[in-house]
Structure 1
Amino acid sequence: MDTVITEIAPDIYRLSTFVDEANLTMNQFLVDGDEPLLFHTGYRALFPSVSDALARVIPLDRLRWITFGHVEADECGSMNSWLEVAPSAEVAHGAIACFVQVSDLADRPPRPLQDGEVLETGSRRLRHIDTPHVPHAWDACLMFEETTSTLLCGDLFTAFGKMPATTSDDLVGPALAAEDLGHPTGLTPVLAPTIRALADLKPRTLAPMHASAYDGDCVTALDDLADAYATRFAAAVEEAADGRTQSD
């Protein structure tokens, strides 16, 4: 497997590996600076390729922060491999995740982050945003790099297939097609409002884990995704209500 490096915003690098058997792109993001941060670690099997790619940008032992969207193999499977090659690195994640899972899984104690807390890599500021159950998992969270307005948006906009490093084409249609195929997103009352709150950040770049980095109208893309999920949630509620009526 080959990991491709693309600078998607100043000091922010997309490390992308296409996994044929899953028909899925796996992206990690390096935010460079005095205290470099890695968002997503990738599977353990991807560590040799991804670490070789990252080493072309910075020495591995300079890595200071390791973060991810939620506890899942593709997001944090190689977490301890990164801790081994980066002696000064700390895992940083939401306080709930640290309490429930990460403290037990990580080889070194993690740093719990509160909603809205900021990690600084030097000239870049990454705000931790709790998004429980959006798109899935109790411990779900995202990060927003404030100086470049880059939203590291995890599993939002997941799409299947090989795709370019960056795009301004439609993100929502492919994401909904992937939703129809895999149903990865929890349809809850907080789903659409949480995504609309991300749109309120007015990001200039979206950095999904399983899609191209997006440099189009990010606010509209997030609002359109929220609208689509709101429609699906309403339909699911109506279907459930009809089912209860028929059973009565």
Structure 2
Amino acid sequence: MTITNTQSGTNVHEIADGIFRINTPVALPGDVGFSFNQYLIVDDEPLLFHTGLRQLFPLVSEAMAHVIPVTRLRHVAFSHVEADECGALNQWLAAAPHAAPLCGSVAALVSISDLADRAPRALGDGEAVTLGRHTVRWHDAPHLPHGWECGFISEDSTRTLMCGDLLTQPGAGRVPVTESDVLEPAEAFRMAMDYFSHTPHAGALLEKLAQTKPTTLACMHGSAWRGDGAAVLRALAERWSS
């Protein structure tokens, strides 16, 4: 792990082949530890998943520059329309003149075609984009955990699932990748904040994600997780159905 800003503690770490987690620890009201993660796929056409908050852009772009020049970025992707997911979108587009937003068709239709300074590339459910040696796929998942436009990206060769707000863990996320339990901490955090939509389709959507057979779960908050990701997603579905 490389610390890229000693004041904030922002750091970068390769969690899978060519996939880097950028992590910034923060304090929520009440001095509760939390973190924001972005994921950079380094390839012929580099992709960033999650833009981070606008106020974090200097820290996140500084961290990216430790891996590749920011101007190399080609795709700026996110799960759903929320400040930590795409708040800094236009700042990234300004810093990377050849980059464009990459999102689901619903997000493009209802928000990003208007919000973004550059036209988005809208992906349908299951649509793949080749970055070079990595191939990413978009998976529609409306209201999982929230947002009509919500979806996720999986990467074929590393079997990494960019799982957004699923399995959100409290704390600074200082361990880049863990094999310890993340389900229980995430569920305790969810039950305290109740930030899920309670969609009746959650089980089917989680099973669709489990079918990608991920071995790395790239969480937006907390540590990434390595192991049988399908089993964790199915356990999550079981918890929600009880």
What is the TM-score normalised by the length of structure 2? 0.93
Determine the structure 2 residue equivalent to 1:195: 206
Unaligned 5+ segments in structure 1 are 232-248
Following superposition, the deviation at residue 217 of structure 1 comes to 2.4
Runs of 4+ in 1 over 2 A off after TM superposition: none
Structure 2 residue matching 1:173: 3-state secondary structure: helix
Q: Which residue in 1 is equivalent to 2:20?
A: 13
2:68 aligned with 1:61 = no
Q: Which has the higher helix share?
A: 1
Residue equivalent to 1:99: 109
Encode CA deviations 1:146-191: one digit per residue, 9 max, x unaligned: 1110000000001211231110111110111011111011112101
Gaps of 5+ in 2: 1-7
> Secondary structure of the equivalent of 1:222?
helix
Deviates more, 1:210-219 or 1:72-81: 210-219
Displacement of 1:79 in angstroms is 0.4
TM-score when normalising by structure 1: 0.91
**Equivalent residue, structure 1, for 2:148:** 138
Partner residue in 2 for 1:175: 186
- 1:103-118 alignment, distance < 5 Å: 103-118=113-128
Counterpart position of 1:229:
240
> CA separation in 1, counterparts of 2:10 and 2:130?
26
Task: Give the drift of 1:21.
Answer: 2.7
What's the CA shift for 1:32?
0.6
Tell me the residue number matched to 1:186: 197
Kept in 2, the 8 Å contact 1:169–1:216? The answer is: no
SS class of match (1:154): coil
Identity of counterpart residues, as a percentage? 45
The 8 Å contact of residues 9 and 25 in structure 2, kept in 1 or not, is answered as yes
- Total equivalences in the alignment: 231
Q: SS at the partner of 2:163?
A: strand
Give 1:41's aligned amino acid.
T
Deviations 1:55-111 (A, max 9, x none): 110011100000001000001110000000100000011111111001111011111
Aligned partner of 2:106: which letter?
A: I
Match of 1:125 among 135, 138, 147: 135
Following superposition, the deviation at residue 216 of structure 1 comes to 2.3
Per-residue CA deviations over 1:108-133 (Å, capped at 9, x if unaligned) read 11111111111111100000111000
* 1:22-41 → structure 2 map (5 Å cutoff): 23-41=33-51
Larger Rg: 1
